[in-house]
Amino acid sequence: MGTPHPSNPHILGDQNLSDDEFDRLSDLLEKAGPAGKSIEWIDGYFAALLCAPEFVPPSEPLNEILDEGLVFDSQEEAGEVVGLLMRHCNTIGSELQRTGTESPVYLPVLLEDEAGVARQRLGQGLHARRSDAAGKLA
């Protein structure tokens, strides 16, 4: 188990989030309503940023994920969300770095419903955006 970050006890290095922590994070992010980002979206976003050729400061993705529509009940709740997000980002970074030299390879997060079916298909959002863009060009 990791050591808590001195300014945020929810950040524990690159320790994987548990299923309960993913559920908690998902519940907190749903407060933003339909504009809220899914765990799968966030996972892909972090992976893309970590593979970018230039460093992206953590404040930039946090501003994108935690948009104006998301209001927290307390400072502690906001700290919990930021801590879980940063811990997940750190986990992805470690996995991507390890993937360059070892197996198994990095796999994105796909959450399942009660029946064990993935809630979102990989690339579904990208396909929808491409379809929208194609319709606007026609």
- Domain boundary assignment for the chain: 19-137
Helix, strand, coil tally for the chain in percent (to 5): 55, 5, 45
In angstroms, how far is the first alpha carbon of the chain from the final one?
Answer: 54
Q: Read off the pLDDT of residues 42-91 as tens digits, 9 standing for 90 and up.
A: 998 999 999 888 988 888 888 888 877 678 889 999 899 999 999 999 99
| Residues whose CB is less than 8 angstroms from the CB of residue 61 and which lie 6 or more positions away in sequence, other chains included | 45, 46, 49, 89
Alpha carbon distance 12, 26 (integer Å): 19
Can you give the pLDDT at residue 35?
65
Whether residue 12 is predicted with pLDDT greater than 70 in this model: the reply is no
Q: What is this structure's pTM?
A: 0.69
Whether residue 6 is predicted with pLDDT greater than 60 in this model: the reply is no
